[in-house]
Structure 1
């Protein structure tokens, strides 16, 4: 008989429940404003709200509700992904808290290409958990499609395998919540991904299986890129029987860590090749399959220093695990040391952009480099000290806090705190054109050689004529633009209406 996911969480946390009084805010979750029964169409805005203790972390799971009973049932339903969210953290490697305020409520919304199916959202902290069920309907008029078939050894279930397409330039599976569309396989292993919007503008698309629990099955073809707009692309995948790697990830107090990400690398190069992995559950345990070969096992978790299997601290010094057809290789445990975290977001003219970040510690040679995620966010775990942050994009360099000369504003770290909003905004290349104004009235401006000035505002878009005393009643904000044939739209003035 399948075991309920909520019961599993409670059993895993029973010792904590006995030791601590239940005085904290219990976790609760709604999807699109409902605890159960909400319905959206692919491409619509998917939103959820998690209520939890102020500043706490929620450990979330997404399940395909195979038996459509509104619960996440182990052995029947399919776990499609785990991720964490912290109250007040707006930009993260994955969904963030939209309001960016540690107020006991995590709110998230984004246009979602999540697969058409019945789903269950699970949210939990160390004391409680809650679920919300919802249904995603298929895109009614897709602009393009990608199809294919997944093959597997005889006797293995090929249904409910999640296949995802993302624009190749967005990393095809990196962090952030960018454009993506998904499809699920049927009992024969066939799938169709429906793409909305204008997908030809985003060619090429990277097609891949998402990181999901397939037991001992593992896919050989990691990903591929295709163009849409002509004949429907066909992308097939092959699943083979692999060896399960399993272990437990703990902190230095021997407490299991949920949300860690153990994953493999090819021993010859720390790159995307031979990367297999899976997130740890509430008991800190992980389990994922790999084909025969040699691997280095890498443990990561936000806010902790990276570790490699067998207590190694670097890729070069990591031990190699040789896999040669075993059913399971166990005991691959890791212990992660918590550090402080510096994180922020990089933009170019206000829009997320790719950039490199260099963090140096004052007084010694300590230095680390990292790169932004697809949504412009970045983070780095550091030990105590005083740090300077440098941002590089093409030929431009910015030092925190948006300074153009070194070393910038220092950041002081004393323990395991998190320093947020270490941001930078570049102005590389020409600025994006402003949106064409909504033409509500033409106002002749004296001494402007007779050129026309258009009025655009947001708020109450009244069509009243604009007199010499300024915007009409009901206008909250106004912006004056002038069209210059050689420079495009030029913003002359923006202000707030001065009368009631």
Structure 2
């Protein structure tokens, strides 16, 4: 079974996979170096990623106790390198670049080893706090997303069993925080604000820690149900179920699992309408078996759980569009291929990242449609990101 959880926010985290390395473009070339602090202390367990000239990850390796790493067995060619660490240091591109454009490319010949690709990292600023519910009980597993003042995503952290989170590796600047959770609580911007524009700035200085940046989340509503085929009652996996505001704007969406079940968490109090979207040949419907937004039944959410909001879809074999909205970007797996549909006009390229934030692959968009091959990909969290006519990101959980 493969599950997809979609969250329309940019969330790039450090992969929790065990330390080691991996080669994606095998060959006979190598490069090596050291990762140390600006005070020349070695940094162990820091990943170094090798990117080819197209921006694809060719390999990564982690430093040993001396800060040394060796990326070997890659194809000859031009590369850029970048660090990724869990120790609170500010990651950089080689040499001391803050972005791909500022990175210094280097070329490796076949059967050659290039040494001296070294990094010296500064310790970054930190933000820490706690996430609790209205009863002052800690909430585990809440994502705390960090944005700069231009609303660009920076990094994220997850609250532990005590509700404590710790964001590390920040450069000096102003930041705003937002929660994301599937525990049924209403997400918010710091400090108890409803939008990015209203959120409080948090001033961070490299090397310092800002403490006491805490959240108290209120319980939200939950909507759940099943989607089945009309002729057999067979559950339908991969159907997008979308929740809309009264003005027909998309509020949030999710997808059905292998049992046809879906659940929408953290729904704020209010009135909504709900409908399906699919590209499998079923006729999409709004609730309660209605064919349009205008005729759909209204759902009233007041912090409670609305279950059995079910859909019975008729199969015609002809893809339908009832229930879709502009920029309702859809993702689903067929075999080991991830398909992404409904991309906005003008999108030309989409990127796949792992949970660590490392770029794994870029693919060209063909008529609002793109695919990624998941052969040799491990189970875990991935992210699909685009920056074109619409700046979006999808969180994908891949389980084979």
TM-score (norm 1): 0.40
TM-score (norm 2): 0.49
Higher relative contact order (CA 8 A, sep 6+): 2
Task: Indicate the structure with greater helix content.
Answer: 1
Larger-gyration structure (1/2): 1
